[in-house]
Amino acid sequence: MNKIFALVDCNSFYCSCERLFRPDLRNHPVGVLSNNDGCFVSRTNELKKLGVPMGAPYFQYKKICDKNKVAVFSANFALYTNISDRVMNTLFQFTPSLEVYSVDEAFLDLTGFDEKTIVDYCYHIKETVERHTGIPVGIGIGRTKVLAKVANKIAKKNEKTKGVFSVLEKEQLNWALKNFDIQDIWGIGKKSAIKMKALGIHKACDLRDFKNELLIQKQFTKIGRMIQDELREISCFPLNNETPKKKEIICSRSFGAPVFDLYSLRESVACYASLACEKLRKQESVCTEIEVYIQTNPFKETVQYARADKVRLSSPTSDTRKIIREAWTVLDRIFINGIEYKKAMVKLSHIQDAKEHQVSLFGDNDTLKDIALMQTLDRINAREGHEMVKVAACGTNKAAWYMKQVLKSPRYVTGWSEIFKIMC
């Protein structure tokens, strides 16, 4: 049977979340910044029209923003995750064959639905999501995931579509692929686009019709070949119903202020390790490899230094205390005195299932007591609030290195003290 995929994508997702609680910002330019209020990571159409590019540093565009009264927010990920869950739950009402692809995107398998009415059905999905959550979405429909992505992009860009576009019909498909730039195809990045253009492939249809498949495979790996087939309506990327466990967990942050001393670096590494461990335990896993990375500010004209190193554990663990201890020994190895550091990272890898992992004969295995302690810690923090209880190594006060978030909106839906108030 011919497959049918729909890609539902939230419009300017982070900005739309901020607008939910600020109806006064409708039709008003809104932007959301990355950690440390560094770069724009989400922009509404009004902001895009002002010429602020994706990923642009805020300080370079602050004047334009001030002049045009742009509402600029620090990222509030707790809010976005919460709203994302609501959107996904609404979508689940339409089909159980759903893949949550990212915080603001989901693929729906609509195979078997009546093709004549499918566009109307997707308008219905769109309206329902908007009514239930307040988040505007665009929907693209195609026989493969790559084609659904193409259709989605057209739905969002082209106002005539009113947010839904299908390339199931040959005519629309050919029109779309003829006008779709190669670098905009899902999975074709900057480097590949340059190489493709050298082969005379400029539009999506050029790749679809390119006869030398072997060359595509050789230059763009098997993924490139699969993308070519997907453009030919041959589905190569199946829908992944269940969310797989992470194979590596990274916690990495730039500092709010430069860091020189080992003591502060240790504190930050302890904090990042704690966060990573929390995620590790949440997916009921343990790990045996810990990597630590530190780096100076590449934009600053000072001595540059970046170094990573790792340690392999003899027995798997998810115990925050053990992992901090190991991370610190790595940090001590790579730390050089007298340098201005800007960023640190902790990465947990070689992740295994907590229940099925091999117990080490000689290693320092987690005891039942250790496991119970970590579970208690997670339970208290889940109930009483994030970091209510933490390892002392993380420090007690918000130190200077802690990231800056000056423009953060209140925790409308995740903190009782900041809940949305209606004045009468």
Residues that bind DNA (CB under 7 A): 34-36, 38-39, 41, 55, 57, 59, 101-105, 149, 185-193, 221-223, 244, 246-254, 258, 275, 279, 297, 299-300, 342-343, 345, 403
**CB closer to DNA, 244 vs 338:** 244
What value does the CA radius of gyration of the chain take, rounded to a whole number of Å?
24
The alpha carbon of residue 249 and the mean position of all alpha carbons in its chain are separated, in whole angstroms, by: 13
**CB closer to DNA, 243 vs 417:** 243
Task: Give the shortest CB-196-to-DNA separation in angstroms.
Answer: 9
| Half-sphere exposure at residue 180, Cβ-oriented, CA atoms within 13 angstroms | 29
**CB closer to DNA, 128 vs 183:** 183
Q: Which run of H or of E encompasses 278?
A: helix 262-282
Helices marked H in 284-367: 320-334
**CB closer to DNA, 113 vs 305:** 305
Task: Give the shortest CB-422-to-DNA separation in angstroms.
Answer: 32
Task: Give the shortest CB-7-to-DNA separation in angstroms.
Answer: 9
Find the Cα–Cα–Cα–Cα dihedral 187, 193, 195, 201, rounded to 10°. 100
| Residue 221, phi-psi category: left (phi > 0), alpha (psi -120 to 50), beta (remainder) | left
Task: Give the shortest CB-48-to-DNA separation in angstroms.
Answer: 16
Encoded tokens for 424: 């009468």
Distance CA 399, CA 417 (A): 24
Nearest 5°: CA angle at 300, between 63 and 53?
40
**CB closer to DNA, 151 vs 251:** 251
Please check whether residue 193 is in contact with residue 207, taking contact to mean a CB–CB distance below 8 angstroms. no
Task: Give the shortest CB-23-to-DNA separation in angstroms.
Answer: 25
Instruction: Please report, as a single letter, which amino acid is at residue 247.
Output: K
**CB closer to DNA, 28 vs 246:** 246
**CB closer to DNA, 63 vs 116:** 63
For 363, residues 6+ apart whose C-beta sits below 8 A from its C-beta are 313, 314, 315
| Half-sphere exposure at residue 379, Cβ-oriented, CA atoms within 13 angstroms | 6
Task: Give the shortest CB-171-to-DNA separation in angstroms.
Answer: 25
Give the position of tokens 């199946």.
238
Task: Give the shortest CB-334-to-DNA separation in angstroms.
Answer: 14
**CB closer to DNA, 26 vs 307:** 307
Task: Give the shortest CB-115-to-DNA separation in angstroms.
Answer: 25
Encoded tokens for 258: 């430069």
Helices marked H in 283-367: 320-334
Please check whether residue 244 is in contact with residue 379, taking contact to mean a CB–CB distance below 8 angstroms. no
